[in-house]
Structure formats: structure tokens, C-alpha cells
Amino acid sequence: MYKLKKQEGDRVQIEMGEARVIFRSWQTTQDREFVRAMLERAEKFYGMGAKERIRAYMNQMKEGTLE
């Protein structure tokens, strides 16, 4: 499970929420283009590295280690 660093603040919670939305949408639609577009939007909105962090949260959800 992801360990929160002190200086990360709300970013972790916001990106986890974004990952939940994208992951549940993917489970419902199986639309890879939608996922790519949402991750690109997240990168622009949340800054560099957001796409990788959100994808990591999504992988944890897929494995069942994160709700």
C-alpha cells in the first residue's frame, strides 16, 4: 500500500479519487481510449508525474490492495 509522505498533502487523496473514477469507468466500459484521455487530462491538471501515480493507484485497485 502507498505510504503517505508528510509533504504530499491532499495531492495523494485527490489523485486516488481520480484513479477510482477512471478505474471504475474502465471496468464498466472497457474503453482504453477513454482511460488514455483521462490520464492525459490528469497530467495537465495535476502536473508532471500524475499519470504514472494515478496508473499505479489503478494497478493497486486491480490487484485488490487499494479500494
Give the Cα separation of 17 and 23 in Å (integer).
Answer: 10
The per-residue pLDDT for 8 is: 65
C-alpha radius of gyration, the chain, whole number: 12
The per-residue pLDDT for 9 is: 73
User: Does residue 7 have a pLDDT over 70?
Assistant: no
pLDDT digits (tens, 9 = 90+) for 10-67: 888 899 999 999 999 999 999 999 999 999 999 999 889 999 999 999 999 999 888 7
Question: What contacts 24+ positions apart, CB below 8 Å, involve 9-16?
Answer: 11/46, 14/46, 15/42, 15/46, 15/50, 15/53, 15/54, 15/57, 16/57, 16/66
Alpha-carbon torsion (38, 44, 47, 49), positive or negative: positive
The per-residue pLDDT for 5 is: 59
